[in-house]
Amino acid sequence: MPTEHLINALQSYGVRLADTRAGVASRRGGAGPSDHKAMTIAGRTVMVPVHTVGAFDSPYLVRRPDADGSSLIEHDGTVIGRVTFPGKPRFYGLQTLDGVPYSKIAVLHGRDVLATTVLQTCIRYQSRTKTCRFCSIGQSLAAGRTVAHKTPQQLAEVARAAVLLDGVKHMVMTTGTPNATDRGAAVLCESAFAVKAAVDLPIQAQCEPPDDDRWFARLKASGVDALGLHLEAVTPEVRARIMPGKASVSLDRYFDAFAAAVPVFGKGQVSTYILAGLGDTTEAILAMAERLIGMGVYPFVVPFVPISGTPLEDHPAPSPDMMHSVLDPLSRMLAAAGLRSTDIKAGCGRCGACSALSTYER
């Protein structure tokens, strides 16, 4: 089975683990990727669901690692491949000067990405009429696995250690939405500035489009190298149904923000996350991707993962066939436009662990 098809299948169905202790501890809840475990397949480190409803009944089983750390992948009892697991990073064994474990400040994503949710709260999360129905940002906070606000000093300390001890190559800073004005841009500015003062690490910042385009220049000046403005869904109908609060930020505002941000950060350094499987058709996703690519925006399309404890926990993940129908033509569109994940300075598109898209690019 080609690697991209195997990744699509594992990310769609999830896997059962014979040994849940293998590799870096899996993540439950939080600001994504949640209910996943990092696995390396044919040299590609990807995030695979292991705690979702679908994963519990998955036809895919990952066996206990052998002496060299490699595990067999079985599909209904037939061996179809092998995986290895990235090891626990050394920085997880440390704590900040004020006594907070580093793993509560930032975590390892994929193989070499440091990720943090600067504000683990959101103005939309506490309201059933406003919350994004796929979101689990509050779960890890409620479980005590993180802190509500990571200070710039804490982030700088952990980032420096992750680079020195574990060779982390870039960093993702996302945030819950704290207000309806800057929408998190201000806290991302102060966080990025502190990290860059401590260590030379490329940073992607992620937030909803702020109300003033001048925030993009401020983010850039603070040390942000790449920007994520995430649509999640691409049609008004699906946006209103799946994320009623966030849908109040119109598609027109997103496109105005993309148009303003690309000249600041550069072609391909502005990206957007699109979740396939929420209700948008393949045609709608590809039409949106074509428009974004024409603006110099990288559309990072990933399979929707139904997170336990959210309103969409029983919503089906997209099939491997659907993901192939999106990612195969999308990779050709990106190539024709000269947009490549390997050229992104930092962030989800460069990491690529939550989608097979970068494997199609190759």
pLDDT, residue 75, reads: 94
pLDDT, residue 1, reads: 77
CA angle centred on 86, ends 323 and 335, rounded to 5°: 35
Query: Can you tell me the distance from the alpha carbon of 164 to that of 345, in angstroms, rounded to the nearest whole number?
Result: 19
Residues 6+ apart with CB under 8 A from 151: none
> For residue 173, which of 121, 107, 129 has the smallest C-alpha distance?
107
Query: Can you tell me the distance from the alpha carbon of 11 to that of 2, in angstroms, rounded to the nearest whole number?
Result: 14
Q: What is the pLDDT of residues 112-125, one digit of tens each?
A: 999 999 998 898 87
pLDDT, residue 78, reads: 94
pTM (2 decimals)? 0.94
pLDDT, residue 137, reads: 73
pLDDT, residue 32, reads: 60
Beta strands 297-303 and 113-117, pairing class: unpaired
pLDDT, residue 100, reads: 96
pLDDT, residue 7, reads: 95
Torsion angle (degrees, nearest 10) of CA 353, 246, 239, 146: 30
The low-confidence residues of the chain, meaning pLDDT below 70, are: 25-34, 127-128, 143
pLDDT, residue 331, reads: 98
